Chain A
């Protein structure tokens, strides 16, 4: 073999140090049928550019799906699980070996939580009170893992803080402060 003429200098075994931390969920996006982003949550560190790219690709991919196809998509090495509720798409990116049906139920549980909090939730609720939607999400998922599956508990936490809001507001409006 003639390749031998080349002296190859120290081929170091390339150990790929995977910095990305193992999280079962990578991101959650909510967007409307027109492709307008309503909520975004990233469970792993990502640059702004990557985020924008993912948002763009997700909206085009999910919106282009034919009716009556599955709720799953393959994107790069991730599985995308999406579901449409009324005019809003919920789109969750998980690792490929993750259980897709379970991820679908995570979305559903989140919708249930929103519904319980807002009372018959609609897209407008989420647009105008998106910070509340974030708070609920933070109670439900923490660092890419399910934190609390009990509906009551999640709502209790959120409402506890909300109640505080009322009391605080009264408190703040007192001239003595």
Chain B
């Protein structure tokens, strides 16, 4: 059979030439499908079509289930079913037959079967499990076409938890002699990597082999994987930069077979893939970027043909040039390319030009200035997407001078374009701009009003939250605060006096809150009036019950100070019998507090803006109650997911294979609730580059100054100065004077040359839109990094204290808080104290069992492995390292005395600024990890006011001394210590930091840096007995199973493997019995992880359990690594 295929494959070209028109012969005129299609086209109404199809489907149904139907007929039936499904008619009955066809048919029928399966089912369909065996069989087939089909279907859809079953077979195909198989195997692995990164962790080196494949097709397929890997972790792939550059060089020079040309451009897809990879690698890394300057220049030069595909390549080049470390020549060329795009008459190109401009504009605002007239034209472009992109661009160049015009344009656009997604996005942006740049109170409140009413209920909830937060926290100036609040109150009262029924619910809620809090600021308005307005709101039918409880809450606040009681009493009467518990509670509160002014004044003190209080979220004040209940025989609390799991465990089908039918046993059925940490990082890595981060609406800010710093130093700045001088000559537009004079109307009318009216309008618009841009760039010329003063800048706060929803959402409190308002205040003060008490139930248990004591000698042993781990990590960025090596040794002597005896990691450089070098290392203490940051002055003068801030989402960072280092003598060294504890585990913790210090002319200089610490540094052995282990094992809910390689060459494979794990990861081997072993470790005392290892079919089946959801997956990753390296 396979011989036949081989022969036909080779004999094809000659055979094909006989049949010059392959397509025409295939228009089968008398097939059943043909008659069905023709039948449909003859029909006139939708109803008739429906009837015909239903008839067709029922006849198909009859035939497929009849035992006499041959596979050949089945294939024909399947094609017809696919057609019916495409028309939108369900044919679920045929799914199982499609799978059968793929299973039993010959090659041709199989192909249709696979096609039908891939069209009918999606990745999560349960029938897909039935396909696994077929795929397994076909992967092992000697027939090339069958293997191809299996690989194709695998990469299209495959149940995630079945991947281990076919993984070895797919891996094997990487060595296949036919390049098409190798290529498909690489792509299938890429797909696996996307859906289950943990599973393909171990074949990274195979990818390298694919990259070096002699067939360009296989090589380019492997680039998909590399793009993904590099996106997640650029550091580890820096060494490949040169190879990628070489490949790109060869491609650009046309060294690939002609086959790969597309409209005589050599392998454009490959080129673009490589450009993307290069931009990721070169991002903020000067030495790597330098390697690629030449080839980028070459690519720009070569792509000169007038065809879409060359423009696509140019666009990618430009993006790359602006992403990597800047080089002035290239930037100039790239700017020219963007200019060509923007000015092009072809609308697609214009769009791409705008997109590129948006991407680069915050690095180089002058570029937008050059094209201002085009941008203005695009703002009125009939095509929506162009308008949209222009707004995006304007959003990026907004400053406090042009904010009103830009916001107006955005609101205009929203009133025309009603698409939900767009509105939600733009509304978020407007809110952000308003908050950052509002020129005055009036404008701010009015803009926010529009935002609320236009945004309606598609609004992201954080917009009203941050608005209210801003109102309540205010700015430094108390007088200003009052004015703003007063203005808001005024505006809301007049809104409510109008027609409040049209306002969206979110807006009403915000209004209620503001009126409740601040309406007392307006002295001429009686609380009674506000109350009546609120009652009116209550009586509107469309008001949701959530809004109603906001209203009641506002009333509760209002009726203090001896206001007439009739209104609130009436209202509370009505709602205290409401079916909605929340409403009822609020009504009760209202009733009680309005009759008890003293308590009211204590519970709701007026006009004091205090720091948000501390909340004991662990509910530790209930500990006594819990232990009493436990003592009285109550069952310990189980979190919902655990209950569910137990429930499903008793019911669900076992997905574990019986015995050895599959090469690798599948991972457990708990896959549904398990989160793989690497998948998480995939999705976060998705958002890609810097631009896209600021894309997302909401909390992001436009960091113009951050960019300037990159550009300030030696790269582009000097060049730009010269560009500044020549600019007026280059762009002799009549608005140049206008831009400088701001809104000078008078000077405008004196312009000597008469300009047509519409032109005038445009220019006026331009002057108002682009005002401030020129000055902005001049600011950056002077090298000042201070941002223009923001009006609505928030007070700096402890990030932990500013949980948005905890502080601003008074009414969305969960049921457990029922009645707090009514409690005596002595109790409520109890409620919010005692954060240092211990946690509940299961955690308690582990603390009791998991006393961790680390004898000194153990730490000594660990030292060597730690260093090895880190040097392996650092290998990627070696060029830097080599240079800095000599410095390290001298820094070691600066280790603080109390830490010098402990094992510490290698000292790695963090960042350098002209006058300071920062390096760091971490030291393992028994109970924590200490990060040391060495600041070494390299300047000749003393540096003052150095401040280093280190943050990490997953870690708790506490600094030993928070105050800035006052002074650093020239060439001196200062060390800062930070204690790190794990908040939520992750494979690597990336600390990001910011260092600022004063340079002699008193300006502040800031530098950012990042540092990576593997999870292993936080691991400590957990010493416990087998019995303790047993009880803990049962208590933990999050588990993961995986097969790891076993050290087969050792005499006792299990012992040897566990020893490796013990040495490298500091695990504690509790006991080894026969072919099973139990191991334990912990991050902190209350964050243990237990491992159960079993030798099974030449592999080490590891089962991890922990109370922390992410921990097993993260630890598994390091286990894999550790075993691979040994």
Contact = CB atoms under 8 A, between A and B. Distances in A.
A145 B224 contact: yes
Contacts of A142: 152, 155-156, 184, 187
A156 interface: yes
A56 B86 CA distance: 13
A120 to B, nearest CB: 7
A66 B382 contact: yes
A46 B86 CA distance: 15
Given A3-B807, A74-B388, A160-B9, A119 B675 contact: no
B82 A130 contact: yes
A87 interface: no
Interface in A90-109: 97, 99-102, 104-105, 108-109
Contacts of B180: 153, 157
A99 B312 CA distance: 7
A26 to B, nearest CB: 13
Contacts of B194: 21-23
Interface string A15-56: 111100111000000000000011110110111000010000
A96 to B, nearest CB: 8
A165 B108 contact: yes
B217 interface: yes
B190 interface: yes
Interface residues of A, number: 87
B578 interface: no
A119 B23 contact: yes
Contacts of A127: 37
B686 A156 contact: no
Contact of A172 (B26, B72, B609): B72
Q: Identify the interface centre among A99, A104, A156: most chain B CB within 10 Å of its CB.
A: A99
A100 B348 contact: yes
Interface in B244-293: 257, 259-260, 262, 267-270, 272
A118 interface: yes
B312 A15 contact: no
Given A22-B683, A77-B421, A102-B312, A8 B348 contact: no
A2 B16 CA distance: 82
Contacts of B422: 74
Given A100-B351, A105-B268, A161-B111, A4 B187 contact: no
Contacts of B805: 8, 11
A133 B816 CA distance: 59
A128 B83 CA distance: 10
Contacts of B148: 157
B809 A143 contact: no
Nearest to B348: A70
A134 interface: yes
Residue among A17, A69, A125 with max Cβ neighbours from chain B (10 Å): A69
B352 interface: yes
A172 B71 CA distance: 12
Interface string B915-934: 00000000000000000000
Contacts of B83: 130
B115 A134 contact: yes
B4 interface: yes
B603 interface: yes
B145 interface: yes
A127 B24 CA distance: 13
Given A6-B810, A147-B221, A159 B34 contact: no
B662 interface: no
Interface stretch (B393-401, B504-512, B614-622, B862-870): B614-622
Contacts of B195: 21
Interface in A107-166: 108-109, 117-121, 124-125, 127-132, 134-135, 138, 142-143, 145-153, 156-157, 159-165
Nearest to A6: B813
B755 interface: no
A160 to B, nearest CB: 5
A102 B312 CA distance: 6
Contacts of B603: 5
B124 A45 contact: yes
B385 A125 contact: no
Contacts of A174: none
B8 A167 contact: yes
B421 A17 contact: no
B308 A167 contact: no
Given A101-B315, A119-B24, A42 B122 contact: yes
Contacts of B540: none
Contacts of A70: 347-348, 350-351, 383, 385-386
B348 A104 contact: yes
Given A118-B22, A130-B82, A161-B108, A101 B27 contact: no
A52 B89 CA distance: 11
B193 to A, nearest CB: 10
Nearest to B16: A159
Interface in B279-322: 308-309, 311-312, 315-316
A38 B13 CA distance: 30
B688 A125 contact: no
B8 A7 contact: no
B108 A164 contact: yes
B348 A150 contact: no
A105 B308 CA distance: 7
B315 A4 contact: no
Given A7-B831, A72-B351, A101-B311, A143 B155 contact: yes
A149 B187 contact: no
Contact of B27 (A68, A128, A131, A159): A128
Contact of A97 (B72, B107, B688): B688
Given A8-B806, A23-B194, A163 B8 contact: yes
B812 to A, nearest CB: 8
Contacts of A10: 617-618
A135 B114 CA distance: 10
Contacts of A42: 122
Given A73-B385, A164-B107, A8 B604 contact: no
B813 A7 contact: yes
B309 A2 contact: no
B8 A72 contact: no
A135 B803 contact: no
Contacts of B613: 4
B637 to A, nearest CB: 14
A119 B422 CA distance: 42
B228 interface: yes
Contact of B123 (A45, A99, A153, A162): A45
Given A73-B385, A164-B8, 19 more contacts: A3-B807, A4-B807, A6-B817, A7-B813, A8-B615, A17-B680, A17-B683, A70-B347, A70-B348, A70-B383, A100-B355, A101-B309, A119-B20, A128-B26, A129-B23, A130-B83, A132-B26, A148-B183, A164-B108
18 contacts: A5-B810, A11-B617, A11-B805, A17-B679, A21-B682, A39-B86, A43-B156, A66-B383, A68-B347, A73-B385, A100-B352, A119-B20, A134-B115, A147-B183, A151-B259, A153-B180, A160-B145, A167-B4
4 cross-chain pairs, A with B, having the tightest CB-CB distances, nearest first: A118-B23, A18-B683, A101-B312, A45-B123
Interface of B: 4-5, 8-9, 12-13, 15-16, 20-24, 26-28, 33-34, 37, 72, 79, 82-83, 86-88, 106-108, 111-112, 115, 119, 122-124, 145, 148, 152, 155-157, 180, 183-184, 187-188, 190-191, 194-195, 217, 220-221, 224, 228, 257, 259-260, 262, 267-270, 272, 308-309, 311-312, 315-316, 347-352, 355, 382-386, 388, 421-422, 472-473, 517, 557, 603-606, 608-610, 612-613, 615, 617-619, 675, 679-680, 682-683, 686, 688, 692, 803, 805-811, 813-814, 816-817, 820-821, 828, 831-832
